[in-house]
């Protein structure tokens, strides 16, 4: 069970309160783009081994979506931030 900090409720709570909602910052392109770009939007995810920006929903709390950066090797949540905020730079990130 991982612990997640809801940036709206300002509380750190067990995973059971939250629903995972996939990779964050996936931007929907204009529908006139090529099939390849549309495929990338629909199906290609970064799936990194390491820090991963992802969406969570505080389903059994405030009900709001927010973003988290979680290390997919340790499963530890490194930071969380509100939806709409840009992805924070973490120590150790490649500039």
Partner 1 sequence: MVSQIDDAADAFILYDAAALAQWSSLARRSVRHGPTALTARAVMTHFSALELLKSAVTGDKHWTKQWPEAEPKEEYDVVIVGAGGHGLGAAHYLAKEHGITNVAVIDKGWLGGGNTGRNTTIIRSNYLYDESARLYDHAVDLWEGLSQDLNYNVMFSRRGVMMLAHTVHDVQSFKRHIHSNRLNGVDNRWVSKEEAKAICPPLNIRADARYPVLGAAWQGRAGTARHDAVAWGYARSASSRGVDIIQNCPVTAIRRGPDGAVSGVETAKGFIRARKVAVSAAGHTSVLMDTAGVRMPLESYPLQALVSEPVKPVFPCVVMSNTVHAYISQSDKGELVIGSGTDQYTSYSQRGGMALIEHTLAAIVEMFPQFSRMRMLRLWGGIVDVTPDRSPILGKTPVPNLYVNCGWGTGGFKATPGSAHVFAHTIATGEPHAINAPFTLERFTTGRLIDEAAAAAVAH
* 57 is a contact residue toward partner 1 (CB under 8 A): no
Is 70 exposed, middle or buried (CB count within 10 Å of its CB: 0-12, 13-18, 19+)? buried
Tokens of 22: 């996939």
- Please tell me whether residue 60 adopts helix, strand or coil conformation: coil
The answer to whether 17 touches 77, Cβ cutoff 8 Å, is no
Among 20, 29, 60, 93, binds partner 1 (CB under 8 A): 20
Among 3, 29, 33, 48, binds partner 1 (CB under 8 A): 48
Report the nearest approach of partner 1 to the CB of residue 86 (Å): 21
**Radius of gyration over every alpha carbon of the chain, rounded to an integer in angstroms:** 14
Report the nearest approach of partner 1 to the CB of residue 56 (Å): 8
Report the nearest approach of partner 1 to the CB of residue 61 (Å): 16
* 49 is a contact residue toward partner 1 (CB under 8 A): yes
């Amino acid at each position: 069970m991982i612990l997640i900090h809801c940036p709206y409720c300002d509380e750190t709570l067990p995973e059971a309160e939250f629903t995972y909602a996939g990779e964050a910052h996936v931007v929907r392109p204009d529908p006139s783009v090529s099939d390849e770009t549309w495929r990338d939007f629909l199906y290609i995810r970064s799936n990194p081994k390491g820090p991963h920006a992802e969406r969570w929903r505080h389903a059994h709390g405030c009900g709001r979506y927010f973003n988290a950066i979680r290390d997919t090797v340790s499963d530890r949540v490194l930071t969380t931030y509100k939806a709409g905020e840009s992805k924070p730079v973490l120590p150790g990130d490649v500039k």
